[in-house]
Amino acid sequence: MGGVTSSMAAKLAFFPPNPPSYKLVADEMTGLLLLSTFPHRENVEILKLPTRKGTEVVGMYIRHPMATSTLLYSHGNAADLGQMYELFVELSIHLRVNLMGYDYSGYGQSSGKPSEQHTYADIEAVYKCLEEGYGAKQEDIILYGQSVGSGPTLDLAARLPHLRAVVLHSPILSGLRVMYPVKKSYWFDIYKNIDKIQLVDCPVLVIHGTADEVVDCSHGKQLWELSKEKYEPLWLKGGNHCDLEHHPEYIRHLKKFVLTVEKPPSQRYTGSRRRSTDQQLLPPRKSTDIVFEASRKSTDRREKPRHSTDKLEKLKNQSNYAEKLRVSFDQVERSRRSVDCCLEKSRKSVDHQLERGRKSVDRIRTG
């Protein structure tokens, strides 16, 4: 039963375009490989890479002059490089990244037949090419897995502890879980992402459409919940399985993510921690989180002995207040004395004038 179910899952997982959307041709002037349906671009290289399984996969490397990251993109189960070409070029431009895409064994002009184990060997060969052929470092690489591509992406990410980041686009919990709502992993299941996501140590972004009829959005949400280092997810309202890149929020959110993970870890979440409506339910994992927590607790310890300080502060405030009142009263008293003095002077002046007037009148009477 297990073998039959595994075979069914594999058959449902792979739908290579037939016929392929492109052919490989050699440029007459340079001898370089090209995709038949696209003109030569100076910053695009087409490669054929051998795998440990004995197949040869076609890769496509796009160079960006300002790039500090390299995106390794594993596409969905019903596409090939000819169909992904324009999107890959656009992503490289908008995200300012180098981008490597590839066709799985049995897809496009890659040799062999598609299978779970072949895709693991395929992505390893492409990753090796990035390191050895283009000098990319693990800490500068972002793995991007779309749909079934989340399988090889998480399998590789679980074995690379220093990756820059992982993007999961309409991902699956496992092949079997796409067909049946099983509660545990069986030996015959394929792409057991639900078990591997917990082994990934870098930031993880999950993008999923809420109206996905192929892979329910619950797959993406559960994988996000199981991630160690969560980044604010993107749940695209009304998004289906194959149209997420057409939503304006897609490229904006993805660009923000790339800019964030390109910063040093200590600066990534300054001002606003990873935001999500569900985030508060989940414990933080990142080492910087531990530092922040320890710092906060240390501050709390320093806060506790402040009772005596608070009393002194209160007394000081009371003393200052009394002093202000005393000064105020003194000012009132001085003002009162000044008024009294003026009144006294005025009274004496009036008395003096009346006295002079009386004496003058007396002189007139006497005379």
User: Which among 77, 83, 76 is positioned nearest to 60, based on CA atoms?
Assistant: 83
Indicate which residue of 75, 212, 219, 227 is catalytic.
212
Using CA atoms, how far apart are residues 356 and 171, in angstroms rounded to an integer? 112
Indicate which residue of 92, 110, 147, 150 is catalytic.
147
Is there a catalytic annotation at residue 147? yes
Using CA atoms, how far apart are residues 228 and 185, in angstroms rounded to an integer? 20
Indicate which residue of 75, 118, 169, 241 is catalytic.
241
Q: Residue 2: which residues within 8 A CB-CB, separation 6 or more? A: 186, 187, 188
Is there a catalytic annotation at residue 362? no
Is there a catalytic annotation at residue 212? yes
Using CA atoms, how far apart are residues 146 and 239, in angstroms rounded to an integer? 14
What are the start-end ranges of the H helices in 114-247? 116-134, 150-157, 175-179, 193-196, 217-226
| Three-state SS annotation for 336-359 | HHHHHHHHHHHHHHHHHHHHHHHH
Using CA atoms, how far apart are residues 356 and 362, in angstroms rounded to an integer? 10
Catalytic residues: 147, 212, 241
